[in-house]
Chains A and B, each alone.
Chain A
Amino acid sequence: MGAMANSPNGNAHHGGGQPEKRKIARIEVDRTLCIGSATCIALASEAFALDNENKAVVQPGWKKHDDETLWEAAKSCPVFAIKLFGEDGKQIYP
């Protein structure tokens, strides 16, 4: 049920399954995980910027990107630092 509905092993980024189609209501970056690869910035430059320690931070303009772009940015993070939340407030990725 809920957040893990489409990722039964609770490990969607590692295992199988099709990309999530759920609507993104909120994005968070876990800065303890972020290593500043800047992949998210390259893929969604309105959504992410770097803080003064080269950690990614979510920008107010993130909604300028469509959900597919944001999903791709999140899934391309090499350290799974980008968390996506659905409209019900539950985490939908990773």
Chain B
Amino acid sequence: MEEVPYLIIGGGIAGTTAAETLRKHDAESRIVIISQEPHPLYARLELSKSDTLLGRTPEEKLWLRNPEWYASHRIELYSGKKAVALDHSLRQVMLDDGTALPYRKLLLAIGVKPRTLGCPGEALTGVFSLSTLDDFRGIQRAIQSSERGERAMIIGGGFIAFEAADACRQSGLETTVLLRDPHFFSGSLKDRAGAMVTHALTSHGIHLIPNEGIEGIVGEETVRAVLIKSGKELPADLVIVGIGASSTADFVRKAGGEVRRGIVTDAALKTNLPDVYAAGDCAEFFDETMGEHTVLGNWTSALLQGRAAARAMLGDPRVPRTISIYTTSAFGLALVFLGDTALKAGRRTLDRGETGRENITQLLLSGNHLVGAVLINRNQELPALTRLIYDKIDISGKEQFLSDPSSDLRGFFS
């Protein structure tokens, strides 16, 4: 087959934005997207929202591109196909149907797959993960056919679990969340902010079981209960597993690509393989602002990386610097995750929150700089915090000021 000038593996927001950006700057060359899911681009980030799961937002609103869009932009979408091997010396990608696709420039925007529990019973009817449109449809059907008072068991403590619990509760299901950790978002939140999230869920009627593991899922064909490590069998009619994501880049590693948590790239999203780039959830890129490699699994970052990778593929030497942002809202909380919010060695936190009030901003510091923040019901601070992170403002000696919830963070810039 003829060499494809721009081959993109992955038809999600990173891959599609890359294709669109390439077309904007190169009107002639062939652009091919290989997509595993049999759909044009849709709004994956909406799949876990209560409005969508409960049908208040009709499914047709999820579509972000239709076949005419691909045709008019001359972007060739081959869906329902999966890349299984890469040979960078031959410069070609092998698909699961046996096709070999030679490329000039390759973008890997292959996303991630939901992590599984690895326990008995995961394949029972009524047990779901929530990553694809087909997963979504399954959960939506299960919720719609459930009767009030039936039991939903949510396993996990991240975004999917948080939003799925909200949808299940709103649908009238008795909703329990099983957490491995002491509280939600434990990779980002320390005790005070974590306790605020716990309180919000429990005061909205969610049963929260922290510090617990899963032994297995029980049922004949359909789920009946979840067996937890402490020995109890908790009845469940619907189970949603949202315990994070894992890499699908084994074929990249086998081809000599550097893969750690994700496919390792430089700041321009270039991998260690010639003319091979990576973007979106699958990429572990060098973040210029943080000065280290990181994986950002959120919609906006994937969109921005798709655009940036396309520009790099076109030879644009400018490396964009952006600050990650994503939000979620449920149980009376409006959360914003800004910058790099991962609690890890060498970082410390500062809390800005009013005692007795349902708001807190947990700042994450590295050395003399702010690297991230989680804002809970304090999102008016977003612009100032973004600037503190982006401009790498030295905050040494200002810790008391930062900790005072009534201090105006704009004071740093005046």
Contact = CB atoms under 8 A, between A and B. Distances in A.
Does A associate with B in a complex? yes
A38 B63 contact: no
A86 interface: no
A13 B383 CA distance: 29
A15 B65 CA distance: 7
Contacts of B24: 19
Nearest to B332: A53
Nearest to B323: A42
B299 to A, nearest CB: 6
A15 B303 CA distance: 19
Contacts of B63: 14
A54 B336 contact: yes
B303 A41 contact: no
B326 A15 contact: no
Contacts of B323: 42
Contacts of A17: 72
B329 A15 contact: no
- Say whether chain A's binding surface is mostly helix, strand, loop, or mixed: loop
Interface stretch (B42-50, B107-115, B189-197): B42-50
Interface in B293-333: 299-300, 303-304, 322-323, 325-329
A15 B69 contact: yes
A16 interface: yes
A38 B43 contact: no
Interface residues of A, number: 24
B326 A35 contact: no
B325 A42 contact: yes
B222 interface: no
Interface in B204-241: none
Contacts of B386: 45
Contacts of A54: 327-329, 334-336, 379
B336 A38 contact: yes
A79 B43 contact: yes
B304 to A, nearest CB: 6
A84 B328 CA distance: 25
B73 interface: yes
Given A37-B300, A39-B303, A42-B300, A53 B326 contact: no
A52 B325 CA distance: 16
A39 B379 contact: no
B195 to A, nearest CB: 21
B72 A79 contact: no
Nearest to B42: A78
Contact of B66 (A14, A36, A45, A76): A14
A38 B300 CA distance: 7
B377 A50 contact: no
A16 B68 contact: yes
A18 B43 CA distance: 22
Given A37-B326, A39-B303, A49-B382, A14 B336 contact: no
A80 to B, nearest CB: 8
A13 B65 CA distance: 7
Interface string B334-374: 11100000000000000000000000000000000000000
Contacts of A51: 379
A78 B43 contact: yes
26 contacts: A13-B64, A14-B63, A15-B66, A15-B69, A16-B69, A16-B73, A19-B24, A37-B45, A37-B327, A38-B300, A38-B325, A38-B327, A41-B325, A42-B323, A43-B304, A45-B383, A49-B382, A50-B379, A50-B382, A51-B379, A52-B334, A52-B379, A53-B334, A54-B328, A78-B299, A79-B46
